[in-house]
Structures are given as structure tokens and as C-alpha cells.
Structure 1
Amino acid sequence: MRELTIDGIPVFVADGPPPLAAGLVFGVGRRDEDFVHGGITHLVEHLTMGALGRTTTECNASVDLTVTEFTATGAPDRVAGFLQAVCAALADLPTDRLAVDADVLRSEGGLAAAPDVAVLLGELFGATGPGLASVREPALRSLTAEDVRAWARRWFVAGNAALWLAGPVPEEVSLPLAHGPAPQRTPHRRRDLRTPAWTELALDDRVALAAEVPRSPTLVATTGVLRARVEEELRSRRGVAYAVGVEQVSLDADRRVVVLSSDARPGEAAVVARLLWREVQRLADEGPLPAELDHERALVAAYLDDPRSDADEARASACGRVTGVPVATGDELRAAVERLEAGEVRAAATALRDAAVLGVAQGTEPPPGLPRLPEWSADRVSGRVFRPARRRGAPRGAVLVVADEGVSADLGDGRLLTVRWTDAVGLVRSAADEWNLVGRDGIGVPLAAADWRDGAEAVRLVRAAVPAELQVDDDELRDRDGVLLLQAPVHRVREAVGTSRDAVSLVAGAEWTAVVPDGTRPAEERALQFGAAAGLRTTALVLRLIHADLEYVLYRGGWELDRHRWGVAPGDPAVLARETGRPVDEAAAVLADPGSPAEVLGRLATLLGLPEQVPDLLAGREVAGAERVEGRGIAGGVRAAVRGDYAPAPGSGSWVDRWARLGRDRPAGYRLANGVAALALFVVAWVQVGDGRVGFGVLAALLGLFSLFEVRPPRRGDRSPERPPAGVAPTG
């Protein structure tokens, strides 16, 4: 292997025949992110590869815990073109497909490490650094174009890059990366854990052991001996497992995490766990046999004698350069294995045993003598106490404590969850009033306002204590965003909102009223709530634009009736026609429309008579003419409705609305008519009683009393027709 420089970037070359294999490596991976920006490195990689378009060159890209790598194999000139295109895309990152690529990553569901490795890294490091491998990326859709561009400007620079080549070096190759030094990494330290210990893996039929140990030239031989012993016991002798693997994760120049893992035949996980732990103890207590050391020497010699090892050395050297982790050359490896001694292997095995965390499948009995890692927080903060609400999810006797230094959820029986504000790494909203506060150690405190008395106040206190930049919406919540339309006049929707605790903005149309999305409550949830409150015959429509697809969900009186997604999941045009009062043939034509989402939306809006602002609302743009309505709760909303606070403007509304307005305003003509009617009804009552028809007489008298009641003048505080409805404020 030889080293050269191109455009200031170190290049490690393993000369050989074509084709050329190459990898442009950057020293940034999952461990360099934070909790709320999880996945941003992977998003930069996807946007970069997407900018290249289709190519005949065999190429790929990947992100793991420590590095991001762009690879290609083929003719030297084509590989050189690929590398130059990657650098150009990184220098001016295209973000027009940001939302689509974010959802691609969500669909991919990839991990920066194997599942069992990721879980144990989470146990060792919590929700920071390498432990992020165990954490789902909660808010990819929250990442903005400026977020990913700034991340690229910081990490994907010449000072943080290296290139490896295996094959003929291209005659002309350029790496036009932005200039800049490698950023300083924040050291990530292991959680304060007492080891050795065991924990549960949320994986079926898997057993794994992880330990943070010092970097040592004998570590490869130690793990090799250990893997061979475990595989001999589990596979060759007992047949309870198929494959045993070893992985090393470099933390810095001095530390690394070793992971030894195995599958297990169903029902045999306990046997696998005991035998794996036994072999770790044996190697630490007794050391290796001479034959085992000879075997390791032979393996290393055979590997180094293979010409393909030169390419591995070139890639390892490039990765080592950008991560700061020293890499031994082939000659250094050969010399180290030749002087390998049993005592060194035994010392390395002892360090591994003493720092070990053994992960076993749920429900598996662990090896005897190993303590369990703590499942719960060790202490509780002191502050304002919130008790469980009735008929909700919090256990009886549980308490939520919000204090100046943090929050605790004491569930009883030693089950305690505590996160201090200084340790908070994210506050993720999963529903309208439901949040999860995540701490540095990976412990989360769930916060659902409805679970606690005065729970809304508890959530408010927590949100006030956590920095705004750490508060994000879960991607699953964003999936339920959309525009809610109610086929009802705006005053009816005002009345429905008034009986809730919500505060929303409304856009009135001739036939439909739109509820402006505000991110506080999913549109479908509001359809169930407001649709029922507006009346059992009220039709509601939730419109949602998902990249290349337009979708609606149809409700009536708060019940879902049908769904339609153009070109993907067809709905029933007869249902849409029936519930909206449109011709079936016209509804069927729109639902079968093959046009773009914008074209289809325009035709749907024309068919149904939707407000003209709907396209802007779906695009997330502000609209003029929206009015703000504050919810007052059931009691306050009913009182407001009786007072006429939600009545339509004079001259509008149905005959029921107009009659109700007359009853509230009681103009002179209305009062005179009721006075005459009352007198006539009293006369009728007198005549009926005199003729012996007492029942009819009583009924006429009651009607007369009602008419007489309407003769009163309106109260001074009643709303006049010119005054806007209480609780309604224009916006926009």
C-alpha cells in the first residue's frame, strides 16, 4: 500500500489490476448526531446519491456509527467521474426532495449497527454517541433544508475526508470538496454501570455480550480464540446455534467496544447464554492453549498473504485517518502476532470479562451469579406532585413530580423514571397532549396530560423547562396531518369548536368550513371530535397530500365512512356522492382522474365546492381571511350557544337560525306579535276550560305563557347583530 494526496485529501492506494474499487470516506456517523437530529447524516448521503441520477457505474453509499462512505467499482475514468460528482453534490446539496428522502429513510428503517450490537451500545452509552444506534430516529420530517446543508458544510469537508483506491489509479481525478478542518468530536463516556452484569434484549433467540475495553494489539487474537471456543461448544458439540460473530466498534484512539453474539435455537437461549459466559470466564481465568495461539498466528499469516488484504488495509487506513483511530499495517500485524503471548491474551480476556454486559432474550434465565443492570432510575426529584386522573393510563398510586431540576414518574413498586433537565436530550410529541421526555441515559418519562389531574399544567411546566430546540414532533404524528373540511356553515363549526378545549382558525366557504392545520392535533382526530359536535348528519373530509399522492378520508357525524388515495387505494364514489350530495358519475370521474395531485385537487374542489384556500392550506401556506375561535369546554360552549355567540350574521343561516336570532334580539314587531299571540291563546284556554276540555286549555295556557315570555325586551348585555361573535377574532 502507498499513500498520496489529491486536492489536499489523503489517498491510500492498493495497486492492482482493473477494475478500480474506490471509497470516499468521511469521519462522521450516527454517533456524531444528537437525539432530535437523528438520521441527518444518512439524509445527507441519500440526497447526495439522489443528485447523481442513474449511472452505469456500480456504486453505493453507507452510514455506520463512525463513518460515511461513498463507493464505486468500474473503469478508472468512470470511478473518477463518480467521485467528482459526489464532491460536487456535497458542496451544493440538493434539497428539493428532502421530504421524500426523509420518508425513504423511515421506510428503510436501517440501523447503524446490527440489532443486538445496537441494543447493547444503548445499554452502555444511553441515548448519546454510540448509544444512538439503539434509538429510533424520531423526527426525520422535522429536519429542514438548512439543517442538512449546515451538517454537510460542517462534516463533509476536505479536512474530514480520505480516499482509498484498489486497482489502477485514474490519470485524472479531482475531489472538489469544500475546504475546512475536521470538527472536534465530543468524547462519549460509558454510563456509570457496575459490571459484569446482564440485561434483556428485545430480540428473539439472540444472545450477545458487549464490553468497553482498552485498545490492545492482542484484542483480535483474544476475540478470535473466544469466538472459536464458543462456536465449537454451541454449534459443533451441542447444535444449539448456527453462527457466532465478533464485532469491534472503535470509540477513539484508546477505547473500543467488543461485541460477541450468537443466534440460538428456539428454547435454547438460556443454554447459549450460560455457555458463552462460561467461555469468557474460562479464557480470563486460564488463558489460551498453545494450539489456539498457533491457530490465530496461522489465520493472520494466511490473511496477510492474500493479495486482497491490501485493499482492506487501504480502506482501514482511510477510515483510521478520518476517525483518529490508529491502524496497524500488514507488517505491524505480522510482527505483533508472531510475538503473541498467552499472558497478554489472558489479560485482554480479563478486561473483557470485567466490563461485560450480557444480553439475553426476554424471558430467558441468565447465568447464575450475574446481577442485572438497573431497569429504573435510582432517585426521584422533589417538587410539585400530580396525581392520576380517573379512568386513565397511570397506575393507581402513581405520581408525577415536576421540579426545578427535572421530572419523575413514580409508578410504584420501585418503578421510577427520572430525567433531569440538564440530562434531557429530547422532548418528542407523539399526540396532541402526549410527550416523551428522553434523558441522556436512555430513560424516557411519558407525559400524557389526560393521565394526570391538572396534567395540562404538568406538560406546560415540562415544556417550559426543556429548550425549544429539543422539542420535536414524532414523524408518526406528522403522518396524520391534513386539512379538515366540514360540510357545515362556519357558525355551526364555531359552535362545535366552542364546546371543546381547542383553539383553531377557521376558513369559511359557501358550503364547507376548513380547519387550518396548526400541528397541535391531527386532522383525523379533529374530524371525529368536531364532526360529532357539529351534528350527526355533518359530513367531514380530511384531505392529505403525501408527496406524489392525494388522499381523503370521509366522515359523517364523527364516524369514518371511506378512504381514497388516487392511483393507489381506491374508495367508493357512491359513498362520496351520497354524503356530499353530488352526482355519482361526476364523483366517479374525479376519483378515476389520472392527473397530477394539483390537477386532481382542483377538480375535486370544483366538484365539492371547497373553499378556494384549500390548495394553500395543504401546501402549508398562510391564508387570508381565517378567524380564530377559542374553545370554552362543554359548559362554557353551551352557555355561549344559548346566548347566541355563535349565531350567523344577520340575513344568513337557515330558517332555524333566523328564528333563533329573532328570539334573542326580540325586535318590536316580534314582541308585538308574541303579545297578540299570548292574548289569543289565553282566550282559547278560557274557552276550552269552560267547555270541559281542561287538557287543551292547559296546553293553550302554557303556549300563551311562552309567547308572553317573548314579549320582554332583550337584556342589555345581549349581543347585537352588528357585534362579532364572542370568542372569535379575525386572523391573517
Structure 2
Amino acid sequence: MRQQEVDGVPALLAPYNGPMIAGLTFRVGQVDETLPYRGITHLLEHLALHGRGLTDYHYNGSTGPIATTFTLQGGEDDIVAFLGGVCAALLDPPIDRLEAERSILRAEAAGRSGGVNEALPLWRYGSRDYGLLTYREMGLPRITGDDVRQWAETWFTRQNAVLWIAGDRIPEGLRLPLRDGVRRPVPAPSSALPVTPAYFQGDEGTVVFDGVMRRSVTGSVLAGVLERELFRGLRQEDGNSYTASASYDPRGDGFAVVTAFADVVPGKADAVLGGFVDVLAKLKVGRIDQADVDAVRAKAEDSFADPAVEVGMLPGRAINLLTGQPLLGVEELRAELHAVTAADVHAAFLEVHGSGLLQVPDGHGADWAGYTAAPTSSPTAVTGERFGNLIVSAEGVSAKFGDGAATVLFKECAIAVAFPDGGRQLIGHDGITIRIEPTVHPVPPEALRRIDAAVAEVTVWQPARDPASIPKPQQPDAKRAAGDRQPPGTGRLVGGILALVAATIALCCGGSWTWVVADNSDPELDVPFDAGSGILIAVCFAAAIGLGLFGVSLLRGRRQK
């Protein structure tokens, strides 16, 4: 790899025998946005690519968590025209295309499926910086042409860019007419987890775990070892999962996230969760098979032997340069890889597990494994006017549920989503969500106007909703207005406790009658064991078992999210 410069933009080159590939990467991505403007980077990327499609070669743009990249594979003249056109569009975005590209992004979002760890950023970080990766592009309706121009002027500058080329030279005549600016660091991560390792309930078909560690080659080895353990235990031995995988993803701030995933065969949630936690516990105590470490190392060695390995590393090296991380060559990486021991992998896993977050199937918990339930409610509620289970004050809004509450303070409101029918959705920085529905809550217009005024700076008006999607008062869950991190209701709790109390009474009755029948110490009180006694004892014990199982199922079925 060689380093050069084009118009003040650092350039990385790696030799390549195929058609030249060029990319222009900027240090700006989804984590740099805010919820009211969520999607602005992606929107500007689309605007910059408009009119660049008149080529016979492959071109693309991508907006990731911390970087945005424009790429083209083709002839040198095409690369010169493509990158020059992208830079010109970033200097003066085609705002006349704003509505058309906004519509395209909505269609793209409708066909996009979430990743295996889609929910974890919200639970770990809340609704800011890295937590934004969970959220859809909620700000699209609000973004104006002036917003787009200001975003381009702030982030898409020569000091915040790196050019990379797979080829033996920089194309003749290539110019990158970008404005001056400054290098932008990645944001410091926020936190919505007071205690780790923690867990929360997700959908029924997956178990997911992630944790944060200092960035190193050891982390990639750990991910490989973890994947082998999960696949062997959950797929090959138990047969309760089809997919079991793990990944290692640098975060851009000197740390990386190790993520593990397993899907669940229907009806096997308990078994998969137990097997998954067993694998984590095995690594925690240091039971790491040296053969697994050697196998992961050998697989990495095979990738290093690929003649195009330097080309494949170019985009990552561009991001490393933008984020101040070292640019290691293949031989340096190979040397670090060979130095990794099983003890190093164990130490890395202890760091990951200490910051761990576990997504368990709906209706399950992980307290038994040493994980703490992530917060699903707020520590306090506001004091003010009450409208059903909603409380509105000058400081914020709370939704009361049993002995808990969800609260969004106006000064900590990340976004207020507003609908023409009067529906509102307030999301706090911690990810706690409150929904206000006129069809469910008796909030008078003047109170709604006060709420709107308090959150006007972060309000995003949405198009009219389909009437069928508006909650109806008769719907069973209509009175539960808190959103994604709402606390559980009390119905299952009360029912579960009553069932367990009844089971205890039945058990005591069965035990007492068994003792009376079996006790022959006093002839005058001797009760013979006959068919009637046997039936009575059997009924008592059967009732105890049935009520006990029913009570446990009610308590385990309480949703945490």
C-alpha cells in the first residue's frame, strides 16, 4: 500500500490487476445524526449520486454507522468523471431532486429488513449516537434543502475525506473539488444501561449477545472461537438452531463490538437460551479449546494468502485513517495474529462479558444466569394534570402502569413524532417512549398544545396515518401508551402470585392428609388408607402441581419490552 494526496485529500493505493476501483470515504455516518434529522446523510448520498448512473461500470454509495463512501469500478476516465461529479454535487447539492430522493428512501426502507442485532443499540446506548442504528430514518419529512446544504458544508470536506484506489496509479486528471473543513471525530458513546451484564426481551426466534472491548486482533479471534462454540453446541449437538454466528466490528473510537447470534427452532427457546448461556459461561471461566484458536488463525491465514487481500482492506484502512487508528500491513497483522494465545482470548472475553447485553426470547429472563434486567421504566414520574394513565406537567409527560412509570422530560426529548390526527410519540434520550393517542387518552386540546410547544424544536410531522393503524379504545393493549421500553402490566403478576398461593395451599392439604393417614401413633385417631383417601391426596397434589406450573408460566410471560 502507498499513500499519496489529491487536492489535499489523503489517498491510499494498493496494486490490482483487474479494472480499477476507486472510493471516496467521508467520516460521517448514522451515529452523527440526531433523531429529528435521522436519514440526512443517506439523503445527501442519494442526491450526490443523481446523474452519476450514465456509465457501463458499477458504481455505488453507502452510508454506514461512521462513514459514507462513494465507489466506482471502471476505466480511469470514468473514475475521473464520477468522483469529480460527486464532489461537485456535494458542493452544490441538487435540491430540486429532494422530494424524489426522499420518496426513493421511503421505498428503500419499506423493503429493508433489520439485522440480527437491530434492537441492541437502542437498549445499550438509548436514542443518541450509536443508538440511532436501531431507528428508521424518522427525520426525512422534516429535512429541508437548507438542512442538506449545511450538512454537506459541515461534513463533506477535504479534511474529512480519504481517497482509496485499487490500481497502480492515480487516474490522470482526477480532481476532488471539495470545500475546506476539519476532521470530525466519532462521537463519544452514550449509555442507557446502569448495570452490565444486562438482558432484555426480544422476539421469540432469536438469542443475541454483544459486548464492547478494546480494539485488537484478539477480538477477531474471539469472535471466531465464539462462533465455533455456538455452532457446535446449538447446531451440531443439540440441533435447536440453524444459524449460529459471531462477528467483530470496530466502532471507530478505539473499541469494537463482538456480537453473537443464534436463531431458535420453534418450541426450543428454553433449550437455545440455555445452550447459548452455557457457551458464554464456558468462555467466561476460561474453557477455551486451543484447537479452536488454531482453526480461527488458520482461516485468517488463508485470507491473507489471497492476492487481492490488500485491495479488500482499502475501505477499512480509509476509515482507520479518518478515525486515527493505525494502518497495519498484512505482515503486521499476521504477526499479531500469531501472538494471540488462548489466555488472550479469555481476557478479551472477560472484557466483552463485563459489558455484555443479552437479548432473550420473549417471555424469558436471564436473572438466573447473572444478568440484570435492562430498565423498562423510568425511575420517577412527573407531577401534574392526569388524563387517564397520562400525567402532563411543565417538565414532561409520564405514563403510569401499576407501580411503574415511563417518563420523557421535555429537555431530554430526542424526538416528538406528530400526526395530523393528534397522535404523538415522544422518545427520550434513554429510549423510553410515550405514545399519546386521542382515541385512547382524554388529553384536552390545550394540554396537547402545551406539549407541542415544549418539544417544537425536535418535532417531526408525519403524513396522515391509515385509519386502521390508529389505536381503538376497545383494543386490549390500547391503554398501554408507553412505547418500546414500556414496563410490564400487573395482570399476569397478580394472577401468577394467586396461582402460586393456591398451589401452596393445595400442597399443604395433600401433605397434611398424607401425614394423618400414615401416622399410627395414636390408635384413637388412626385414619385408614382407603380409595377415598388416595383420591383426595392425589387431587391435592395434582392441583398443587397444575396451579404451580400455571403461576410460573404467568410470571415468566410478563413482557419486559
| Partner amino acid, structure 2, of 1:465 | A
Structure 1 residues 132 and 112, CA, compared in 2 at 3 Å: closer, same or farther? Answer: farther
Instruction: Give the aligned residue type for 1:439.
Output: G
Say which is worse superposed, 129-138 or 178-187, in terms of deviation: 178-187
Distance 1:457 1:120 in 2: 37
* 2:474 corresponds to 1:473: no
Contact kept? 2:230, 2:245, Cα under 8 Å:
no
Distance 2:40 2:112 in 1: 12
> Measured at CA, do residues 316 and 99 of structure 1 come closer, stay the same or move farther in structure 2, by a change above 3 Å?
same
Task: Write the distance in 2 (CA, Å) between the matches of 1:324 and 1:119.
Answer: 29
Distance 2:265 2:80 in 1: 47
CA distance in 1, matches of 2:431, 2:281: 29
Q: For residue 396 of structure 2, what is the amino acid of its counterpart? A: G
User: Is the CA contact (8 Å cut-off) linking 2:139 and 2:460 kept in structure 1?
Assistant: yes
Name the SS for the 1:438 alignment partner.
Answer: strand
Taking the aligned partners of 1:220 and 1:254, their CA distance within structure 2 comes to 14
Match of 1:401 in 2: 391
CA contact (8 A) 1:449 1:458 kept: no
User: Secondary structure of the residue that 1:51 maps to in structure 2?
Assistant: coil
1:580-659 equivalences in 2 (<5 Å): none
Cα distance, 1:277 vs. partner?
1.9
CA displacement, residues 213-268 of structure 1 (integer Å, 9 cap, x when unaligned): 23233111111111111111222223332333333343343322221112232333
Q: Does the CA contact (< 8 Å) of 2:27 and 2:184 recur in 1? A: no
Give, in whole Å, the separation in 2 of the partners of 1:192 and 1:243. Answer: 28
Query: Letter of the aligned partner of 1:351 in structure 2?
Result: E
Correspondence for 1:463 among 447, 452, 458: 452
Q: Quick one: which of 385, 393, 409 aligns to 1:420? A: 409
- Cα deviation for residue 289 of structure 1 reads 2.3
Q: Whole-Å Cα distance in 2 between the matches of residues 339 and 63 of structure 1? A: 35
Change (3 A) 1:290 1:454: closer
Is the CA contact (8 Å cut-off) linking 1:31 and 1:130 kept in structure 2?
Answer: yes
Q: Name the CA shift for 1:325/1:273 in 2 (closer, same or farther; >3 Å).
A: farther
- Deviation of 1:269 after TM superposition, in Å, equals 3.4
**Equivalent residues of 2:219, 2:348 under 8 A apart:** yes
How far off is 1:15 after superposition?
A: 0.6
* Counterpart AA for 1:147: D
1:458 & 1:313 partners in 2: Cα distance? 56
- Please give the secondary structure, in 1, of the residue aligned with 2:217: coil
Q: CA deviation at 1:110?
A: 7.1
Deviations 1:430-458 (A, max 9, x none): 23322111100111112235644453232
The corresponding residue for 2:172 is 171
| Contact 1:21–1:167, Cα closer than 8 Å, also in 2 | yes
Matches within 5 A, 1:327-406: 327-364=327-364, 368-369=368-369, 370-382=371-383, 384-388=384-388, 398=389, 400-406=390-396
In structure 1, the partner of 2:305 is 305
Relative to structure 1, is the Cα distance of residues 454 and 81 closer, same or farther in structure 2, using a 3 angstrom cutoff?
closer
Inter-CA distance 367–385: structure 2 relative to 1 (3 Å threshold): closer
- Greater displacement, 280-289 / 454-463: 454-463
Instruction: Please state if 1:436 is matched with 2:428.
Output: no
Q: CA deviation at 1:419?
A: 1.0
SS in 2 for 1:96: helix
C-alpha spacing 1:162/1:270, structure 2 compared with 1 (3 Å)? farther
Asked whether the equivalents of residues 39 and 137 of structure 1 are also in contact (C-alpha less than 8 Å), the reply is: yes
Q: Which digits, 9 at most, give the CA deviation of each residue in 1:692-716, with x for residues without a partner?
A: xxxxxxxxxxxxxxxxxxxxxxxxx
Return the letter of the residue paired with 1:438: I
CA displacement, residues 660-691 of structure 1 (integer Å, 9 cap, x when unaligned):
xxxxxxxxxxxxxxxxxxxxxxxxxxxxxxxx
Give the distance between the partners of 1:432 and 1:415, measured in 2 at CA. Answer: 28
- The separation in 2 between residues aligned to 1:196 and 1:11, in whole angstroms, is 41
Letter aligned with residue 251 of structure 1:
R
| 2:89 aligned counterpart, secondary structure | helix
Shift of 1:21: 1.6
Q: Paired residue for 2:275?
A: 275
Q: Letter of the aligned partner of 2:395 in structure 1?
A: E
What CA distance in whole angstroms lies between the structure 2 residues aligned with 1:130 and 1:77? 38
Seen in structure 2, the aligned counterparts of structure 1 residues 113 and 193 have a Cα distance that, compared at 3 Å, is farther
1:376 aligned partner, one-letter code: S
Any conservation in 1 of the 2:199–2:360 contact (CA below 8 Å)?
A: yes
Q: How far apart, CA to CA, are the structure 1 residues paired with 2:80 and 2:274?
A: 52
Comparing 318-327 with 333-342, greater Cα deviation is found at 318-327
CA distance in 2, matches of 1:405, 1:67: 37
- Aligned partners of 1:145, 1:246: CA distance in 2, in Å? 41
1:85 aligned partner: 85
Alpha-carbon displacement from aligned partner over 1:401-425 (angstroms, at most 9, x marks no partner): 2234322111x32341101222111
| Contact 1:241 1:263 (8 Å CA) reproduced | yes
Report if aligned partners of 2:40, 2:139 keep a CA contact under 8 Å in 1: no
The structural deviation recorded for 1:140 is 0.9
- Residue 48 of structure 1 aligns with an amino acid whose one-letter code is A
Alpha-carbon distance between aligned partners in 1 of 2:269 and 2:10, rounded to the nearest angstrom: 47
Is the alpha carbon distance of 1:93 and 1:302 closer, same or farther for their aligned partners in structure 2, counting shifts above 3 Å?
Answer: same
Counterpart-to-counterpart distance in 2, 1:127 and 1:333 = 35
Deviation sequence 1:299-341 (CA, Å, 0-9, x none): 2222212122111222211011223344433222111122212
Gapped runs of 5+ residues in structure 2? 471-561
Q: 1:368 to 1:454 in 2, by over 3 A?
A: closer
Partner of 1:188: 189
With the length of structure 2 as denominator, give the TM-score of the two structures: 0.78
Distance (Å, rounded) in 2 between the aligned partners of 1:313 and 1:77: 24
What SS class does the counterpart of residue 261 from structure 2 fall into? strand
Mapped to 1, the partners of 2:20 and 2:98 lie a distance apart of 32
State the one-letter code of the partner of 2:239. G
Query: What is the distance in 1 between the residues matched to 2:111 and 2:208?
Result: 17
Displacement of 1:151: 0.8
Q: Deviations over 1:516-544 (max 9, x none)?
A: xxxxxx9xxxxxxxxxxxxxxxxxxxxxx
DSSP 3-state at the match of 1:81: helix
Contact 1:103 1:141 in 2 (8 A): no
Aligned residues: 466
The residue identity in structure 2 corresponding to 1:79 is I
Letter in 1 for 2:160: N
In the other structure, the counterpart of 1:230 is 230
Residue 198 of structure 1 pairs with residue 199 of structure 2: yes
Q: Which of 434, 442, 446 pairs up with 2:435?
A: 446
**Counterpart of 1:103?**
103
Say if 1:160 and 1:134 are closer, same or farther in 2 by CA, change over 3 A.
Answer: same
Distance 1:353 1:461, change over 3 A: same
Change (3 A) 1:338 1:184: closer
Change (3 A) 1:3 1:243: farther
Partner of 1:624: none
Quick check: 2:417–2:459 contact (8 Å CA) kept in 1? yes
Distance 1:223 1:233 in 2: 15
Contact 1:196 1:355 in 2 (8 A): yes
Letter in 1 for 2:452: R
Aligned to 2:250: 250
Question: Percentage identity across aligned positions?
Answer: 31
Q: Is the 8 A contact 1:227 1:246 kept in 2?
A: yes
